[in-house]
Structure 1
Amino acid sequence: MMNESVEKKENPPDNKKRIKPFWLWALSVCLIAVGIISLFFAFYREYMLVVDDIPYTLKSIALRGRIVLKNAGLEIDDADRVSIDINTYSWELPGEIKIDRARKVTILHQSETHQLNSAARHPSTLLQLAGIKLYPNDIILQNKQPIDPYAPIPLGQEIIIEYIPAKLVLLNDNGQMRSFSSQAETLEQAFAEQNIQINEHDRLSLPLSTKLSLETQVEIRRAREITVMRGENAFVGYSAADNAEEALLEIGLPVQNLDFIAPSGVLAFEENNPILSLDIVQVSESFNFIKEETAYSNTYELDPNTELDTTTVLVPGQTGYVVTRTISISENGETVKTYPSQQWKASDPVNGIIGRGTMPVVKTETVDGITLEYWRKVTVYATSYHPSEFPPGARTRSGTPVTKGIIAVSAAWYPLMAGQQVYVPGYGHGVIGDSGGGIPGRYWIDLAYDDENYVGWHHWTTLYFLTPVPAYIPAVLP
Structure 2
Amino acid sequence: MPCMRRLLFLASILLLMASCNSSVRPVTILDGGEVFFVSASGGTPQDWLQQAGLSLNPDDRLFYLGLPIDPAQPLPPASAYVLNIRRAVLLTVVTPDGTRLIRTAAVSVGQALTENDILLYAGDRLTPPAGTPIVAPMAVTYVPSKEVIIRVGEQSIESRTAAETVGAALVEAGIPPQGLDEPLPAESEPLPADGQIRLRRVYESLVIQQESIPYTTETQSAPDQPLGWQEIVQMGESGLALGRVRIRYADGQEVSRQAEEMTVVRPPKTQIVRNGTKVVVETLNVNGQNLEVWRVLDMYATVYSPCNSGIVGCSYGTASGLRAGKGVVAVDPALYAYLQGQRVYIPGYGFGVIGDVGGGYIIENKLGISRYRWIDLGFDDNNIQDLTGWVKVYFLAPAPASIPAILQ
- TM, length-normalised to structure 2: 0.45
Q: Relative contact order (alpha carbons < 8 A, sep ≥ 6): 1 or 2 greater?
A: 2
- TM, length-normalised to structure 1: 0.40
Q: Which structure has the larger Rg over C-alpha atoms?
A: 1
